[in-house]
């Protein structure tokens, strides 16, 4: 283990400018994860009722603080996914050095372990920077922070780099480097049938049972079951949307490959037919955030209508509005992180296929055609999945509004603008990798085949 860590440190010190960009992205992701973790630790360390001078009283009571801590912990999920995407890109860019390790006798598992340790070192830098900044903020805002805060800071500072290394090792489990410098990813073409067969019926039954519960007869039951129904419905719609992304990718690839005459569409169709579930894996987080964001619009309107109907005082309304605004901000942060992960994943796909792209360029395929094919690989399978995610989120929001507020506002259908906005931003995120296409499709890459 010490030898692997020493090699990882030497490889990190010898990184070129391109690899430093990858390490910088991982440090940023680790800094975000550390910041979320430290904020959760600081808020959770507050005991009893405590007057916090910001947030309109949202952090004064233990119950509300627990919800904020839970939301901060959930934000770690897209950040860890972003780190995994960055780790895969880094493994491909370092193929020649990894090949040298294979020639020196290193096993494939050891090479992946060294690459994961490199990612852990980059995460350590981002974590340390975030901890130092958080310490300055805590000392400036908190006169006498308890000792548990500093213990939690140390724990988070150690846990984030370890999690980054573990996520990288998990992301690289199918990446194999040959001694001759050929990097490939071993993947399975089987669809996730077992996961769907277990998850979908389970959550469908849970949604039906909770939806049929007589909320109005017992307010206490409704207080617990309504959020459970919403969470179960979000997971159910998200899982089905991910499955639809892979299923439509396979059908679209087969249909277009047999009927299209457009070179860009044909290249995209062949790619989708070759690995249809790659789109589902890449778009999973985006689809889940879309369901949450679309449903949140309806939940927000229903909850505000219910509160206005109860004629809450202005100070109480500001309390609830602050909580809803912070929730919307958390969803936007999660969406931004998942879009960054999508952009990195697209770049990783280009880097993995760079020799094939170079061969196509050498054969006379224009780079503009390859660029359109790249965007179609994202646009074709994502459109029907986002449509289902949008309507599913709208149904969740409208249903919640009907339960809580007894109203069906026509403005609730404005939530359908969320999947349209997500679709446009996903295409923009994929387009950010087009400059990399020019370098990846250079015929000079054929020298290393």
Model confidence pLDDT, tens digit, residues 215-251: 555 554 544 566 667 777 777 787 888 888 888 888 8
**Lowest-pLDDT range, 131-135, 277-281, 314-318, 425-429?**
314-318
pTM: 0.74
Q: Do 31 and 122 reside in the same domain of the chain?
A: yes
What's the CA angle centered on 203, arms 197 and 208, to 5 degrees?
Answer: 125
Give the pLDDT confidence score for residue 423 in this predicted structure.
Answer: 92
Q: How many domains does the chain have?
A: 2
Predicted local confidence at residue 353, as pLDDT: 75
For residues 35 and 96, state if they share a domain: yes
Residue whose token pair is 């901000």: 329
Q: What is the mean pLDDT of residues 408-428?
A: 79
> Which of 5-14, 191-200, 354-363, 392-401 bottoms out in mean pLDDT, i.e. has the lowest?
191-200
* Higher local confidence (pLDDT), 152 or 299: 152
Rounded Cα gap, residues 50 and 399, in angstroms: 35
Find where tokens 């005459």 sit: 261
Instruction: Let me know how many helices (H) and strands (E) the chain has, helices first.
Output: 16, 2
Separation CA 256–CA 180 (nearest Å): 36
Which of 18-27, 29-38, 46-55, 170-179 ranks highest by mean pLDDT? 29-38
Domain co-membership, 171 together with 301 = no
In this prediction, residues 274-302 reach a mean pLDDT of 81
Residue with more model confidence, 308 or 128: 128
| Segment among 68-77, 188-197, 391-400 with least mean pLDDT | 188-197
**Is there a single domain that holds both residue 77 and residue 181?**
yes
pLDDT value of position 128: 92
Q: For residues 57 and 333, what is the distance between their CA atoms, to the nearest angstrom?
A: 22
**What is the end-to-end Cα distance of the chain in Å, rounded?**
32
pLDDT tier at 99 (50, 70, 90 boundaries)? low
Q: Which pLDDT belongs to residue 188? A: 47
| CB atoms near residue 70 (< 10 Å) | 11
Structure confidence at residue 293 as a pLDDT band (50, 70, 90): confident
- 408 pLDDT above the threshold of 60: no
Lowest mean pLDDT among 56-60, 147-151, 186-190, 292-296: 186-190
Domain around 129: 2-185
Does one domain contain both 201 and 179?
Answer: no
Question: Among 123-137, 167-181, 237-251, whose mean pLDDT is lowest?
Answer: 167-181
SS (H, E, C) 152-205: HHHHHHHHHHHHHHHHHHHHCCCEEECCCCCEEECCCCCCCHHHHHHHHHHHHH
Q: What is the mean pLDDT of residues 428-449?
A: 72
Question: At 186, is the pLDDT very low, low, confident or very high (cuts 50, 70, 90)?
Answer: very low
pLDDT of residue 118: 79
For residue 298, give both structure tokens.
């309806």
Does the pLDDT at position 280 exceed 90? no
Domain end (from 120, 151, 185): 185
Residue 201 pLDDT exceeds 90: no
Statement to judge: residues 238 and 161 lie in one domain: no
Tell me if residue 323 falls in helix, strand or coil: helix
Q: Does the structure show a pLDDT above 90 at 23?
A: no
Give yes or no: residues 444 and 418 share one domain: yes
121 and 234 share one domain: no
**The tokens of 29 are what?**
């992701």
pLDDT tens sequence across 47-90: 766 666 665 566 767 667 777 888 888 888 888 878 877 776 65
Residues 132 and 211 in one domain: no
The per-residue pLDDT of the chain, averaged, comes to: 75
Q: Do 212 and 255 fall within a single domain?
A: yes
> DSSP character for 433?
T
pLDDT band at 212 (very low <50, low <70, confident <90, very high): low
Same domain, 293 and 426: yes
> Residue 223 contacts by C-beta under 8 Å, 6 or more apart in sequence?
none
Domain boundary among 185, 217, 243: 185
Of all residues in the chain, what percent carry a pLDDT higher than 90?
A: 4
Give whichever of 55-59, 87-91, 107-111, 431-435 has the largest mean pLDDT. 431-435
Q: Is there a single domain that holds both residue 75 and residue 177?
A: yes
End-of-domain residue from the set 185, 204, 225 = 185
């Amino acid at each position: 283990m010490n030898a692997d860590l020493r090699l990882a440190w030497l490889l990190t010190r010898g990184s070129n400018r391109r690899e430093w960009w990858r390490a910088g992205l991982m440090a940023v992701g680790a800094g975000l994860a550390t910041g979320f973790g430290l904020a959760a630790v600081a808020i959770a360390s507050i005991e009893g009722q405590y007057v916090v001078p910001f947030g309109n009283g949202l952090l004064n009571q233990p119950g509300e603080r627990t919800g904020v801590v839970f939301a901060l912990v959930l934000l770690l999920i897209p950040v860890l996914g972003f780190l995994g995407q960055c780790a895969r890109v880094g493994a491909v860019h370092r193929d020649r050095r990894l090949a040298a390790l294979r020639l020196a006798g290193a096993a494939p598992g050891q090479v992946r372990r060294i690459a994961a340790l490199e990612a852990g070192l980059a995460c350590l830098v981002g974590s340390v920077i975030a901890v130092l900044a958080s310490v300055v903020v805590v000392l400036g805002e908190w006169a006498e922070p308890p000792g548990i805060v500093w213990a939690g800071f140390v724990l988070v500072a150690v846990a984030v780099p370890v999690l980054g290394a573990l996520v990288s090792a998990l992301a690289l489990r199918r990446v194999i480097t040959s001694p001759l410098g050929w990097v490939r990813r071993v993947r399975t073409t089987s669809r996730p049938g077992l996961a769907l067969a277990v998850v979908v019926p389970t959550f469908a039954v849970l949604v039906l049972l909770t939806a049929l519960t007589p909320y109005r007869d017992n307010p206490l039951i409704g207080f617990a079951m309504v959020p459970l129904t919403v969470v179960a419905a979000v997971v159910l719609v998200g899982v089905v949307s991910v499955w639809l992304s892979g299923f439509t990718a396979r059908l679209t690839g087969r249909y277009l490959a047999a009927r299209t005459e457009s070179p860009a569409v044909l290249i995209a169709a062949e790619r989708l037919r070759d690995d249809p579930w790659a789109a589902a894996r890449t778009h999973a987080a985006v689809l889940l955030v879309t369901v949450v964001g679309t449903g949140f619009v309806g939940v927000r309107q229903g909850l505000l209508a219910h509160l206005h109907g109860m004629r809450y005082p202005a100070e109480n309304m500001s309390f609830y509005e602050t909580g809803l605004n912070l929730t919307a901000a958390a969803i936007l942060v999660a969406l931004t992180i998942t879009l960054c992960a999508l952009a990195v994943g697209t770049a990783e796909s280009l880097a993995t296929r760079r020799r094939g792209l170079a061969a196509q360029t050498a054969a006379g395929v224009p780079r503009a055609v390859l660029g359109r094919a790249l965007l179609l690989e994202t646009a074709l399978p994502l459109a029907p999945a986002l449509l289902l995610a949008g309507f599913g989120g709208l149904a969740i929001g409208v249903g919640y509004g009907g339960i809580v507020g007894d109203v069906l506002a026509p403005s609730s259908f404005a939530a359908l603008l969320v999947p349209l906005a997500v679709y446009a931003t996903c295409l923009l995120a994929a387009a950010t990798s087009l400059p990399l296409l020019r370098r990846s499709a250079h015929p000079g890459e054929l020298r290393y085949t």
